[in-house]
């Protein structure tokens, strides 16, 4: 709450139309790639006038390479920017260290599960700027050539697998899917069974639900529905789709910008993640990024204002309509652009729908961090490669979880 | 002022810049690291003294024990292989009379490539159905051909040398002319047998996981064997140059005298080359031990291409704790592991100096 003199000053400022901040410079930073186009576009095309009116100059410093390391080093050395990206994957390490200022703006328009993802100790520390979830992206031409029905929203794991096997049989040089032995993709299948990464006591239990998803995912290669991405000379399933080595890819909406560069003429279709045939439910993983104000910033109020402007409905609509990212504001879920028939519009719409799948979990693993995924990734890898059987791999993964989580207590 | 004290002062002035940089970047850093190794510190909160807990946590951390085992195995393997290969190559290059410059340049090429570029090339070569798998596949498919070639080659060379010795004295078993004839004869034999259909070709559709595997071979994960191969390939040329410089400083009169005394090539190598190269060998082995114990870049670039437990070394373990993915920094653990690595390096170099290759002979 502002004090009386401050309120009077603010009112006078508004009446006189003077800038709220006396020519303050705010340093902002995020990672490179397509994000540079998003932030530069917002700053020059959408927010230039508003920022000038507020008397704020923004210095944008995109960083290529490991951004979390850049921020950790910058924060510990006192050289970090005033406003910066936090990925849900590592945001907790910044929040718990007291390096982020709590968000004070009105956040009622944002998706609740995204806000929850950036809440620590009951306080919100980042304004969600966008999000992503997994979907099935497919090359319609390959399915046409193979005379196989397109994947659909009604597909279960089994029906999708059957379609992929049929594609590979009809077109032996094409595989159904490039699988990666990573929780970041497999997790959506495990979640759809009703399995949860952490139980009520904070333990990870690889139960029979998990086993069902594990057997399905690791069996994709053996059944002829998939190939390991590395065996196809690719590091991710989107690379296989772009090179027409695979008929489908399980990725987020980030695949759109990758395909725009590497396969601009692809006849792309996108449908929701397949359902678990037993539970009839869908699972998904949410990846989200937010803007956080540096707790040590000397211009924290101006930085918070920039965060607010960068995530207004107008700003997010511009980003959405450029096909660059999905909005974190729920009001934009009905944006007319999303109802369009262009592949990137359909893909964005389907990915947005993924946020309301039956079992959705954020891509975040508490205090343990990314090392939580290692036992699962190692088990997936060794079983897909045929080095050990599922029983041995999962027993080893379970004992790794038991040791890991015992250490946390 | 005496001349001695003036010289002493000049000496101190000369070493002053290095002393300052040592004090700042080594002594200060090591004292801080030692302090943090006894503290709970995440880069932000004030460090809290925790006694020996970080060291106790290291001993009970399975990943640390794997990293320790991997590092020691990798260091012994790579240091041994690269020293032997570098010496062999140096001797070979030193004797190559024709195109010596070209041979040296070609052999040195792998060392001028950046480690990152080399690792990316090897990632491609080490794909499951990549170049390395193709080599193994060809060897397995034509194993009878290869076996017959070597048997035929050895037999022919033996017959030719024994026959020549009946007429002339001192015919070497490695006589180059006979070697050429034996090789041509053995190739003809293999070709003839192959055409006659006497040698089967084995069909195989091999897929070997050189990097992305949790399998072990002997004392080390298969992944680290592949990294060792890559490391040897990039390091041997530099070490070869050191040996070459050492070889060229050995007076040729020693070899002439030994030859007059009737010493054969192996005896000359064993009793002249090896002892004369002792200071260089000491330097090569010591640098090899230090470099391999601190192996980081090549395993870091591998990243997700290989499981962590299959590629983790002590230096990488330090990094993993300082910047864990998605979690708060564990600077205390990282510092404790860094000190263990430092002490291990000093200890191994000392043990090597005491019981391994010494700088000077007895």
Q: Binning pLDDT at 50, 70 and 90, where does residue A9 land? A: very low
Rounded CA gap, A27 and A298, in Å?
Answer: 11
* CATH 3.40.190.10 domain position(s) in chain A: 17-131+287-339, 135-272+365-408
Mean of pLDDT values over B21-46? 93
Q: What DSSP line would sit under A49-65, residue for residue?
A: HHHHHHTEEEEE--B-S
Range of the structural domain that residue B170 is part of: 143-195
Q: Does B48 touch chain A (CB under 8 A)?
A: no
| pLDDT for the residue numbered B167 | 86
Look over chain A and give the mean of its residue pLDDT values, rounded to a whole number.
91
For residue B342, what are the CA distances in angstroms to A256, B33, B38, B290, B358?
48, 11, 16, 10, 21
Tens digit of pLDDT for each residue in A260-288? Answer: 889 999 999 999 999 999 999 999 999 99
Same domain, B96 and B150: no
| pLDDT for the residue numbered A13 | 47
Q: Are A269 and A150 in contact (CB under 8 A)?
A: yes
Beta-carbon separation of A385 and B325 below 8 A: no
| pLDDT for the residue numbered A86 | 96
Q: Are A393 and A379 in contact (CB under 8 A)?
A: yes
Tens digit of pLDDT for each residue in A171-208? Answer: 999 999 999 999 999 999 999 999 999 999 889 999 99
Q: What DSSP line would sit under B314-342, residue for residue?
A: HHHHHHHHHS-TTS---HHHHHHHHHHHH
Q: Using an 8 Å CB-CB cutoff, list chain B residues near A92.
A: 326-328
DSSP secondary-structure letter at A156? B
DSSP secondary-structure letter at A290? E
Same domain, B278 and B238: yes
CA distance B304 to chain A (A): 9
Question: Out of A66, A93, A377, whose CB is closest to B328?
Answer: A93
A141 or B97, higher pLDDT:
A141
Interface with chain A: mutation pick from B126, B208, B327, highest number of A CBs within 10 Å = B327
CA distance B212 to chain A (A): 8
Same domain, B163 and B268: no
| pLDDT for the residue numbered A5 | 52
Same domain, B191 and B324: no
Same domain, B114 and B243: yes
Interface with chain A: mutation pick from B325, B332, B334, highest number of A CBs within 10 Å = B325
Q: Are A139 and A189 in contact (CB under 8 A)?
A: no
Same domain, B93 and B189: no
For residue B177, what are the CA distances in angstroms to A22, B100, B180?
90, 21, 5
With tokens 């989580």, the residue in question is: A405
Domain tally, chain B: 2
Q: Count Cβ–Cβ pairs < 8 Å, chain A vs chain B.
A: 86
Same domain, B324 and B183: no
Number of C-beta neighbours around residue A81 at 10 A:
23
| Cβ neighbours of residue B19 closer than 8 Å, sequence gap 6 or more | none
H-only helix segments in A43-149: 48-54, 67-77, 91-95, 112-117, 140-146
Q: Binning pLDDT at 50, 70 and 90, where does residue B68 land? A: very high
| pLDDT for the residue numbered B77 | 97
| pLDDT for the residue numbered B72 | 96
Tens digit of pLDDT for each residue in A351-364? Answer: 999 988 899 999 99
Q: Does B275 touch chain A (CB under 8 A)?
A: no
Rounded CA gap, A179 and A91, in Å?
Answer: 28
Tens digit of pLDDT for each residue in B251-297? Answer: 999 999 998 998 888 899 999 999 999 999 999 999 999 999 999 99
Rounded CA gap, B157 and A46, in Å?
Answer: 83
B208 domain-assigned: no
CA distance A117 to chain B (A): 14
CA distance A371 to chain B (A): 7
| Cβ neighbours of residue A332 closer than 8 Å, sequence gap 6 or more | A313, A316, A317, A320, A338
| pLDDT for the residue numbered B97 | 60
CA A125 to chain CA centroid, nearest Å: 18
Rounded CA gap, A254 and A131, in Å?
Answer: 10
Rounded CA gap, A381 and B209, in Å?
Answer: 11
Q: CB-hemisphere CA count at 13 Å for A373?
A: 22
CATH for A135-272+365-408 (2.60.40.1480, 3.40.630.10, 3.60.150.10, 3.40.190.10): 3.40.190.10
Q: Binning pLDDT at 50, 70 and 90, where does residue B243 land? A: very high
Question: Helix, strand, or coil here: A182?
Answer: coil
Q: Which among A330, A343, A205 has a CA at the least distance from the CA of A263?
A: A343
Q: Are A286 and A131 in contact (CB under 8 A)?
A: yes
| pLDDT for the residue numbered B160 | 93
Whether B110 shows a pLDDT value over 90: the answer reads no
B176 domain-assigned: yes
Tens digit of pLDDT for each residue in A105-127? Answer: 999 999 998 999 899 999 999 99
Tens digit of pLDDT for each residue in B196-233? Answer: 989 888 877 888 999 999 999 999 999 999 999 999 99
Same domain, B109 and B80: yes
| pLDDT for the residue numbered A231 | 87
Q: Using an 8 Å CB-CB cutoff, list chain A residues near B43.
A: 72, 75-76, 97
Beta-carbon separation of A370 and B214 below 8 A: no
Beta-carbon separation of A370 and B325 below 8 A: yes
Rounded CA gap, A339 and B230, in Å?
Answer: 53
Q: Which among B353, B346, B355 has a CA at the least distance from the CA of B279?
A: B353
Residue window 207-266, chain B: list those with CB within 8 Å of chain A: 207, 209, 212-215
Q: Binning pLDDT at 50, 70 and 90, where does residue A16 land? A: very low
CATH for A17-131+287-339 (3.40.830.10, 3.40.50.880, 3.20.20.70, 3.40.190.10): 3.40.190.10
Same domain, B106 and B235: yes
- Joined tokens for residue B172: 């070497």
Same domain, B112 and B245: yes
Q: In what order do the strands lie in the sheet with A226-228?
A: A226-228, A175-179, A246-251, A135-139, A268-271
Look over chain B and give the mean of its residue pLDDT values, rounded to a whole number.
91
For residue B151, what are the CA distances in angstroms to B43, B154, B182, B189, B240?
65, 5, 11, 10, 32
Whether B98 shows a pLDDT value over 80: the answer reads no
Mean of pLDDT values over B91-101? 76
For residue A308, what are the CA distances in angstroms to A107, A129, A316, A406?
9, 10, 11, 41
Rounded CA gap, A363 and A370, in Å?
Answer: 9
| Cβ neighbours of residue B147 closer than 8 Å, sequence gap 6 or more | none
Mean of pLDDT values over B169-196? 90
Q: Are A284 and A351 in contact (CB under 8 A)?
A: no
DSSP secondary-structure letter at A273? P
Same domain, B274 and B336: yes
Beta-carbon separation of A369 and B325 below 8 A: yes
Beta-carbon separation of A367 and B42 below 8 A: no
| pLDDT for the residue numbered B95 | 78
Same domain, B274 and B176: no
Whether B362 shows a pLDDT value over 70: the answer reads no
Domain of B223: which CATH number? 1.10.3720.10
Question: Helix, strand, or coil here: A89?
Answer: coil
DSSP secondary-structure letter at A79? -
Interface with chain B: mutation pick from A90, A181, A287, A289, highest number of B CBs within 10 Å = A90
Q: Binning pLDDT at 50, 70 and 90, where does residue A2 land? A: very low
Whether B4 shows a pLDDT value over 80: the answer reads no
B228 domain-assigned: yes
Q: Which among A328, A302, A304 has a CA at the least distance from the CA of A316?
A: A328
Q: Binning pLDDT at 50, 70 and 90, where does residue B102 land? A: confident
Tens digit of pLDDT for each residue in A77-111? Answer: 999 999 999 999 999 999 999 999 999 999 999 99
Q: Using an 8 Å CB-CB cutoff, list chain A residues near B304.
A: 182, 235
DSSP secondary-structure letter at B136? H
Mean of pLDDT values over A26-37? 91
ipTM: 0.83
Whether A408 shows a pLDDT value over 70: the answer reads no
Q: Are B357 and B288 in contact (CB under 8 A)?
A: no
Q: Binning pLDDT at 50, 70 and 90, where does residue A131 land? A: very high
Q: Are B264 and B171 in contact (CB under 8 A)?
A: no
Whether A293 shows a pLDDT value over 70: the answer reads yes
Rounded CA gap, B84 and B80, in Å?
Answer: 6
B303 domain-assigned: yes
Rounded CA gap, A361 and A372, in Å?
Answer: 14
Q: Between helices B331-355 and B62-95, what is the axis angle to 10°?
A: 40
């Amino acid at each position: 709450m502002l004090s009386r003199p401050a309120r009077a000053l603010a009112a006078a400022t508004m009446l006189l139309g003077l800038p709220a901040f006396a020519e303050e410079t705010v340093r902002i930073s995020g990672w490179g790639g397509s994000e540079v186009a998003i932030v530069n576009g917002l700053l020059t095309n959408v927010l230039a006038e508003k920022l000038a009116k507020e008397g704020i100059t923004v210095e944008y410093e995109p960083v290529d390479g490991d951004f979390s390391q850049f921020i950790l080093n910058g924060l510990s050395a006192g050289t970090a920017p005033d406003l910066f990206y936090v990925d849900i994957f590592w945001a907790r390490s910044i929040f718990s260290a007291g390096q982020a200022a709590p968000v004070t703006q009105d956040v009622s328009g944002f998706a609740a599960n995204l806000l929850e993802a950036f809440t620590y100790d009951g306080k919100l520390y980042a304004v969600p700027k966008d999000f992503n979830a997994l979907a099935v992206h497919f090359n319609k031409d390959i399915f046409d050539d193979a005379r196989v029905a397109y994947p659909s929203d009604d597909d279960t794991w089994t029906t999708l697998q059957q379609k992929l096997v049929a594609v590979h049989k009809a077109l032996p040089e094409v595989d159904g899917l490039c699988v990666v032995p990573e929780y970041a993709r497999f997790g959506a299948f495990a979640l759809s069974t009703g399995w949860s990464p952490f139980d009520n006591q904070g333990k990870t239990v690889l139960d029979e639900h998990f086993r069902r998803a594990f057997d399905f995912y690791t069996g994709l290669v053996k059944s002829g529905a998939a190939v390991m991405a590395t065996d196809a000379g690719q590091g991710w399933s989107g690379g296989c789709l772009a090179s027409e080595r695979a008929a489908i890819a399980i990725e987020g909406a980030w695949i759109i910008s990758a395909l725009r560069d590497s396969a601009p003429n692809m006849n792309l279709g996108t449908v929701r993640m397949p359902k678990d045939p037993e539970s009839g439910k869908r699972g998904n993983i949410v990846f989200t990024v937010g803007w956080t104000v540096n707790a040590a910033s000397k211009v924290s109020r101006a930085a918070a204002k920039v965060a607010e402007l960068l995530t207004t409905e107008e700003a997010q609509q511009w980003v959405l309509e450029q096909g660059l990212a999905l909005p974190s504001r729920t009001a934009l879920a009905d944006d007319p652009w999303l109802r369009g028939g262009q592949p990137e519009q359909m893909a964005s719409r389907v990915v947005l729908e993924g946020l309301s799948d039956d079992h959705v979990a954020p891509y975040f693993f508490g205090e343990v961090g990314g090392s939580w995924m290692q036992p699962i990734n190692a088990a997936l890898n060794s079983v897909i490669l045929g080095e050990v059987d599922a029983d041995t791999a999962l027993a080893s993964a379970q004992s790794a979880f038991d040791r890991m989580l015992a250490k946390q207590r | 002022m005496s001349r001695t004290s003036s010289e002493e002062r000049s000496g101190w002035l000369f070493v002053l810049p290095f002393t300052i940089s040592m004090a700042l970047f080594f002594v200060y850093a090591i004292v801080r690291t030692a302090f943090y190794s006894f503290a709970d510190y995440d880069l932000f909160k004030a460090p809290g003294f925790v006694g020996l807990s970080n060291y106790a946590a290291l001993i009970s951390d399975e990943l640390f024990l794997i990293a320790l085992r991997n590092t020691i195995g990798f260091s012994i393997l790579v240091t041994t292989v690269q020293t032997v290969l570098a010496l062999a190559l140096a001797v070979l290059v030193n004797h190559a009379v024709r195109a010596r410059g070209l041979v040296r340049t070609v052999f040195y090429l792998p060392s001028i490539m950046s480690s990152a570029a080399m690792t990316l090339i090897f990632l491609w070569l080490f794909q499951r159905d990549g170049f390395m798998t193709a080599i193994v596949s060809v060897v397995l498919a034509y194993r009878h051909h290869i076996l017959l070639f070597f048997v035929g080659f050895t037999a022919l060379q033996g017959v030719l040398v024994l026959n020549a010795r009946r007429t002339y004295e001192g015919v070497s078993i490695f006589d180059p002319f006979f070697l050429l004839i034996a090789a041509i004869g053995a190739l003809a034999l293999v070709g003839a047998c192959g055409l006659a259909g006497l040698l089967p070709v084995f069909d195989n559709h091999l897929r070997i996981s050189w990097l992305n595997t949790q399998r072990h071979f002997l004392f080390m994960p298969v992944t680290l064997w592949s990294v060792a191969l890559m490391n040897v390939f990039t390091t041997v040329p530099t070490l070869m140059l050191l040996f070459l410089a050492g070889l060229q400083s050995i007076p040729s009169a020693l070899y002439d005298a030994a030859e007059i005394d009737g010493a054969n090539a192996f005896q000359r190598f064993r009793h002249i080359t090896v002892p004369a190269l002792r200071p260089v060998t000491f330097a090569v082995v010591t640098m090899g031990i230090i470099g391999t114990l601190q192996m980081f870049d090549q395993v870091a670039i591998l990243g997700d291409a290989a499981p962590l437990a299959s590629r983790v070394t002590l230096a990488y373990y330090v990094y993993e704790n300082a910047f864990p993915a998605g979690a708060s920094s564990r600077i205390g653990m990282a510092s404790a592991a860094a000190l263990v690595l430092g002490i291990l390096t000093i200890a191994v170099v000392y043990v090597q100096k005491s019981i391994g290759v010494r700088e000077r002979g007895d």
